[in-house]
Amino acid sequence: MQELVQFIQTTGFLNFSWGNVLMIIAGLVFIWLAITKGFEPLLLVPIGFGIVIGNIPGVAEQGLGVMDSGSVLNILYFGVSKGVYPSLIFLGIGAMTDFGTLIANPKLILLGAAAQFGIFATFIGSILLGFNILEAASIGIIGGADGPTSIYLASKLAPHLVGPIALAAYSYMSLVPVIQPPIMKLLTTPKERLIRMKPLRVVSKREKIIFPLVAFVVTALIAPGSVVLLAMLFLGNLLKESGVTERLASSARSVLIDVVTILIGLTVGARTTADAFLTPSSIKIFLLGAASFCVATATGVIFAKIMNLFIKDKINPLIGNAGVSAVPASARVSQMVGQQYDKSNYLIMHAMAPNVAGVVGSAVAAGVLLGILGN
């Protein structure tokens, strides 16, 4: 009988709290959204399962939790805390990205830059809500809708907030098709939504090879704090465009990024325990993240409208939403909303230009913040 009591005491049932129950339900909701709604399944399935793992009572007490030194989860979390996983994901993103649309119409980089306004607006809002300057910088980067960059910056400036920040960033990335269309429609007129953009010119192979080299040097000089992210992004793109390293590029954009996505999702989810997440700060982070994402979307659309006042070849403002870093989800939203008004108007190739510019822009913004605040 005594042995039975001891066995029961070692199980997690006796230590189940309402916080654990709520977080496990949240993890299951993430998995449900991924499977039934198709919301970023490659991200939400491992994150959701990680949340379930991290909230099993008794895991931490037995030294098995993500923050317990020497545990398997703790060893895997090293890649998050030291910025290894975000850097490897950027390598894969670079190997998947075609910068040709941006090279063909370089003025669209301004839309990617405009969308970064959400980062700095939320930075100010976070300070006003009581976060310190390092926490505010980490929260603000959510506005770029860039999960890897959010994790990278938070791991450097506010490691205790990595869980909520990563969860917020990836949640809003998965909800791009839900959040952005109402803002895009609100800020554009029916006439603007029907604008047909000039076809893009053909970009030469030489231009595509030179671009990552030049772009890396320029952006790294502007934001040396993000040199690792930028280096991996443009190296991946060079592997893709060089024509002589296709095997490496293929590995980077498939096997490597898939494995790292599993690890980053699982460990970030496991870090999101009830005691660490169910706090007023986490609620504020989610609200600020939503505001940041909405502001970033709105400023991209508004800036496209402003650009149209000064240029001959008009820009369809519906591609302004693509300035956030959710590649290629936000570009697909531009296409989806545009085709609701003109079935024959194909905006996705135009939208990819600010979309890839947004990836670079959020990394540069993170580097600027890290350079100023990281010392």
Tell me the pLDDT band of 18, cut-offs 50, 70 and 90: confident
Three-class SS of residue 179? Answer: helix
pLDDT averaged over the chain?
89
Task: Report if residue 42 sits inside a domain.
Answer: no
> How does residue 328 score in pLDDT terms, banded at 50, 70 and 90?
confident
- Cα 303 to chain centroid distance, Å, stands at 22
Q: Does 25 fall in a domain?
A: no
Torsion sign (Cα): 45, 37, 285, 179: positive
| Domain count within the chain | 1
> Does residue 237 lie in a domain region?
yes
Predicted local distance difference test score (pLDDT) of residue 325: 82
Residue bearing the bigger pLDDT, 11 or 297: 297
Question: How would residue 8 be classed by pLDDT, with cut points 50, 70 and 90?
Answer: low
131/134 Cα distance (integer angstroms): 8
In this structure, is residue 52 part of a structural domain? no
Answer yes or no: are the C-beta atoms of 46 and 52 closer than 8 Å: no
8 Å CB contact between 317 and 307:
no
- Domain-located, residue 56: no
pLDDT grade for 339, boundaries at 50, 70 and 90: very high
Q: Comparing C-alpha atoms, which of 56, 59, 52, 75 is closest to residue 16?
A: 56
**Average of pLDDT values for 300-319?**
94
Query: In this structure, what are the phi and psi dihedrals at residue 279, rounded to the nearest 5 degrees?
Result: -135, 160
61, part of any domain:
no
Query: Which pLDDT belongs to residue 73?
Result: 86
Taking residues 1-5, report their average pLDDT.
Answer: 71
Domain enclosing residue 131, as ranges: 80-373
Residue 297 belongs to some domain of the structure: yes
Residue 58 has pLDDT above 70, yes or no: no
- Asked if pLDDT for residue 62 goes beyond 80, the answer is no
Q: At what angle do helices 329-339 and 176-186 cross, to 10 degrees?
A: 50
CB contact at 8 A, 26 and 69: no
Reference 318, options 307, 302, 306, 329; nearest CA is 302
Mean pLDDT to the nearest integer, 181-206? 94
- Report yes or no on 283 lying in a domain: yes
pLDDT confidence bin for 322, thresholds 50/70/90: very high
Query: pLDDT at position 331, please?
Result: 92
What is the model's pTM? 0.90
pLDDT of 7 over the 80 cut: no
Cα dist. 41→6, 30, 36, 38, 184 in Å?
40, 9, 9, 6, 25
pLDDT tier at 321, thresholds 50, 70, 90: very high
What pLDDT does 120 receive? 84
- CB-based contact 218:72 (threshold 8 Å): no
CA distance 45 to 27: 9
Q: What is the DSSP letter of 108?
A: G
Give the model's pLDDT for residue 272.
86
Confidence class of residue 10 from pLDDT cuts 50, 70 and 90? low
Please tell me the distance from the alpha carbon of residue 145 to that of residue 360, in angstroms, as a whole number. 12
CA distance 14 to 24: 16
Q: Which two tokens stand for residue 106?
A: 């370089």
